[in-house]
Amino acid sequence: MRRRVMAAVLIFVLCGMMMSCSGGTSGGGAAGETTVAAESSGAADSGQAGEAGEAGKTGEAETTTGSAGLAAKTPASQTTAAAENGENENAEETGAAPIMTLDDFPVTDGSLACVPMIEELMMRFTGCTEMQADERVNEVFSNTNPCYLNLAAGERDLCIAYEPAEETVEKLKDYPPLDKQPIGKDALVFIVNENNPVDELSKQQLMDIFTGKIHNWKEVGGADVPIQVFTRPETSGSQTLMRKLLVGDAEMTDEKYYYMQPTMEGMVEAIKENYDNSEMAIGYSVYYYVESMMGTSGLKFLKVDGVDPSTEAIAGGEYSLVNDFYAVVREDSPEKALQVRDWLLSEEGQTFVGECGYVPVR
């Protein structure tokens, strides 16, 4: 999987394919209990490209990645039509997933850590190849906060994404509400270089490190060296979780001790490769991205209050810094988008979430 992930990263970087793609506006209502308010329709024509561009400047529009490879299948009766639209001719129908052509698949965007699942969905529902799924995702990928805005503006049909930032929630308030249903869980995790002797911190110690009250590793049982604190932009999905689950509104901008990393990849690589004395650094991300997309060679997860982050600890509730991620639609999203969303909420869809390496909500 990781080889395919890095290949997709290279394709995206070389091609620069961060463009918007208009979504359909047909289709029925979406049942849901949780809603997110959205921004006025006037912003749809002029504001979304700027939002995505601004997000890129602050590190939100991070590089997209490839998928894990659960090949989709279509029934034999649909093979010819599927082939005409570029789908896999050898695919067969599996389970109750609705079958559609790649052209009919809803325009789907989301968080960087959700890209593998989005590509798996395309392959499962349409029978397309992994390369076709990569290309389709790269055409529209914008990342967590821009995808909410693009969905609200009618430029996407479906988003699979982590929690939006407060700034984004405010920008969405003038739009009709979005239907935001939890489909999986992920965790905020803290990473250090594998050579750092510290293996565990409490939530209070983490809070004190990231809010400037602790500056030296010796204060938490490590070497007598300054802590190099890596942070993320306020518009990033991981920073949204950091504020929601740990630091709240506390200040995190002391330039003497903090180093802004515009991308999750940049933060992980800096700690892995130990450049600029980053062996003494600490950073944060989401569990799935580090464990399944980047790999843990050269770094380690810190235990938090004595608990190692793991799929089992996230699912069982032992690891406490956990948050849902969501399938999000508009009220007028196309019927195909509602079908995909509803399937993800079904028993079969939740099994699929787990098969992709994520933690389902049930």
Contact partners, residue 336, CB within 8 Å, separation at least 6: 27, 98, 100, 104, 105, 106, 157
Rounded Cα gap, residues 215 and 23, in angstroms: 48
Pair (164, 85) in one structural domain: yes
Rounded Cα gap, residues 191 and 88, in angstroms: 40
Residue 254 confidence (pLDDT): 67
Q: Is the pLDDT higher at 39 or at 172? A: 172
Q: In the predicted model, what is the mean pLDDT of residues 288-298? A: 94
| CA-only gyration radius of the chain, Å | 20
Pair (159, 193) in one structural domain: no
Which DSSP category does 327 fall into?
E
Least confident range from 112-116, 271-275, 285-289, 292-296: namely 271-275
Q: At what angle do helices 347-355 and 335-345 cross, to 10 degrees?
A: 80
Pair (162, 227) in one structural domain: no
Least confident range from 73-82, 99-108, 151-160, 173-182: namely 73-82
Pair (25, 97) in one structural domain: yes
Spatial CA neighbour of 299 closest among 188, 199, 185: 199
Residue 304 confidence (pLDDT): 98
User: Mean pLDDT in the chain?
Assistant: 79
Pair (163, 191) in one structural domain: no
Pair (83, 175) in one structural domain: yes
Pair (213, 245) in one structural domain: yes
Rounded Cα gap, residues 207 and 219, in angstroms: 13
Confidence of residue 275 (pLDDT cuts 50, 70, 90): low
Pair (9, 156) in one structural domain: yes
Written as six digits, the tokens of 5 are 């992930």
Q: What is the pLDDT of residues 112-127, one digit of tens each?
A: 999 999 999 999 999 9
pLDDT at 289 over 70: yes
Q: In the predicted model, what is the mean pLDDT of residues 285-305? A: 95
pLDDT at 146 over 60: yes
Tell me the three state secondary structure of residue 309: coil
Spatial CA neighbour of 298 closest among 316, 275, 317, 328: 275
Structural domains counted in the chain? 2
Q: In the predicted model, what is the mean pLDDT of residues 330-337? A: 97
Residue 116 neighbours by CB distance under 10 Å? 29
H-helix or E-strand spanning residue 286: strand 281-286
Pair (43, 125) in one structural domain: yes
Q: What is the pLDDT of residues 245-268, one digit of tens each?
A: 999 999 886 666 678 889 999 999
Q: What percentage of the chain exceeds 90 in pLDDT?
A: 63
Residue type, 258: Y
Pair (152, 241) in one structural domain: no
Q: What is the pLDDT of residues 48-107, one digit of tens each?
A: 333 433 333 333 333 333 333 333 333 333 333 333 444 444 344 444 455 899 999 999
Least confident range from 41-50, 250-259, 297-306: namely 41-50
Pair (179, 195) in one structural domain: no
Residue 162 neighbours by CB distance under 10 Å? 27
Pair (162, 43) in one structural domain: yes
Alpha-carbon 314 to chain mean position: 16
Domain CATH for 43: 3.40.190.10
In which domain, by residue range, is 60 found?
A: 2-183+326-360
